[in-house]
Amino acid sequence: MQPSSKSIIGMAKIKLRCWLSALAAVVITTANAQNPLITNQFTADPSARVFGDKVYVYPSHDIRAQPGHGRAGWFVMEDYHVFSSANLTDWTDHGVIVTQNKVPWVKPDSYSMWAPDCIYRNGKYYFYFPTTPKDTTVSKGFTIGVAVSDKPTGPFVPQPLPIKGVRGIDPNVFIDKDGQAYLYWSQQNIYAAKLKDNMLELASEPVTLGELPTQGLKEGPYLFERKGTYYLTYPHVANKTERLEYATSTSPLGPFTVKGVLMDESPTGCWTNHHSILAFKNQWYLFYHHNDLSPAFDKNRSIRLDSLFFEPDGRIRKVVPTLRGVGLTDAKQKIQLDRYSRLSNSGATIAFLDTANKFQGWKTVLASNLAWVQYNGVAFGKQALKTVTLRTMAPAGGTVQLRADGATGPLLAQVTVPKGGQWQEVKAPLSAFKPGIHAVVVASKTDTPVEIDWIRFE
Ligand code: FUB
């Protein structure tokens, strides 16, 4: 039987509705090779995992308090997104996976969806999150719940109740080689317990990991194993703000021996740090956070990523935070020089493009002759590129030179920036092409300021 024109229209409408709802959950790709990793929203407390051939990051999601929504001056967090990347350079936002008012046991509008974790077991992804229960007999403060999915990107279905017997924040789950799973969490101290095979219930009484520092807040535990050593890593306030420390053991439940600091306190006073550590394609990485996009308010944070190395005896080499981050930047993509590797001691500064909308990102300002900025790890490929485009502004006009590999390296291009108070894209021919991977140095040749948003080779 032929469908009637009415039913054809009906089917088309249904298809359109399905298509529109798929579009509503559409992924947003944010190409970004530098720190912070995500620049279109605040992200914090990154729990990163390798699932298949990709890295997935489950951060918490800071937002600004609005009248009647969240407490001004404090953490305001209502949901979680998940981000993925196959190369640690291009990140895809898969959208919201869990939101406070859709979890049956969560106190509505409590805006306390703090640092989560996610782990894979037997075909399911278990997402652990701490927040405030509406039933205060469960906990007067925080407790920890689980949401389960068939895919790392969701949909995650929250369990009807939080995990029994857990009070605290910052869940972290570790599965040992023998298949035993452990839950770690914090509430002043750091606690641990075995998890049942269903990953939803404790299988043992919680123990306090008591060999850690006794003075100063400890939170955000993250446990991993390498070459038979169990590393318990955690933020700790030894002085004024959190730094990342670690202790080791031959067993997931300790006893642990404190080993040292793996990242110092923030030099600019961001009070929290929260991290995770993983190996991906034969390199270890540290995910952590800083308040890059909100320098005046450190409860609006942004996740970062830097490489991590072990000494031959298994100690963790201290990670020095960078803006450049990890990975290579394709010469044909926008190269954000403000996420620099090196900057000249005088004349070069970094500033927000728009102080009223910091999500616009940053610019490099070369204020005087010879001021320079260096950006490492630009992948030029093999095929000769012919031009470079700068998004730039020079109120009095200016000239910059681009060189490969260093301030005295081969000249790639000289670019004259016409006088003007507006951003403009200025294109110049390349005088040389260097195949392969190079640092790019951009240096001013005039005493009048030149501002650069990004550069791109073609
Ligand atoms: O993000 C809220 C809280 O701040 C986390 O749970 C702590 O680890 C700290 O980063």
**C-alpha span between 305 and 35 (Å, rounded):** 7
Global confidence as pTM: 0.93
In the residue annotation, 197 being an active-site residue is answered as no
For 180-214, what is each residue's pLDDT tens digit? Answer: 999 999 999 999 999 999 999 999 999 999 899 99
Query: Which is catalytic among the residues 93, 219, 265, 306?
Result: 219
**Which residue type sits at 203?**
A
In CATH, 329-457 is 2.60.120.260? yes
Q: Is the pLDDT of residue 11 over 90?
A: no
Residue 59 CB less than 6 A away from ligand 1: no
Distance CA 294, CA 272 (A): 13
Superfamily (CATH H level) for 30-308: Glycosyl hydrolase domain; family 43 (2.115.10.20)
Q: Which of 353, 361, 374, 335 is nearest to 423 (CA)?
A: 353
Q: Taking the CA atoms of 378, 357, 86 and 128 in sequence, report the sign of the dihedral they define.
A: positive
pLDDT of the residue at 33: 66
pLDDT tens for each residue of 392-413: 999 999 999 999 999 999 999 9
Give the C-alpha separation, 431 to 304, whole Å: 35
User: Is any atom of ligand 1 closer than 6 Å to the C-beta of 62?
Assistant: no
185 CB neighbour count, 10 Å cutoff: 29
User: What does the pLDDT read at residue 167?
Assistant: 96
With a CB cutoff of 8 Å and minimum separation 6, the contacts of 289 are 43, 44, 45, 46, 59, 270, 272, 273, 274, 275, 301, 302, 303, 304
The beta-strand segments (E) located in 266-410 are 276-280, 283-290, 302-308, 329-330, 342-343, 348-352, 362-366, 372-379, 387-394, 398-404
Share of the chain above pLDDT 70, in %: 93
What percent of the chain has pLDDT above 90? Answer: 91
Q: CA 393 to CA 175: how far, in whole Å? A: 53
* Structure tokens that stand for 152 in this block: 């790392």
Which ligand 1 atom lies nearest to the CA of residue 130? 6
Our answer on whether the CB atom of 219 is closer than 6 Å to any ligand 1 atom is: yes
Domain boundaries, the chain: 30-308, 329-457
CA dihedral sign, ordered 297, 360, 35, 29? positive
Mean pLDDT of 326-354: 97
Q: Ligand 1 in contact with 129 (CB < 6 A)?
A: no
Q: How far is CA 88 from the centre of its chain?
A: 10
The ligand 1 atom at the shortest distance from the C-alpha of residue 301 is 1
Q: Where does the pLDDT of residue 139 fall: very low under 50, low under 70, confident under 90, or very high at 90 and above?
A: confident
Using CA atoms, how far apart are residues 86 and 52, in angstroms rounded to an integer?
Answer: 10
Q: Which atom of ligand 1 is nearest to the CA of 235?
A: 8
Give the tens place of pLDDT for each residue, 253-267. 999 999 999 999 999
Write out pLDDT tens, residues 413-446: 999 999 999 999 999 999 999 999 999 999 999 9
Q: Are 242 and 234 in contact (CB under 8 A)?
A: no
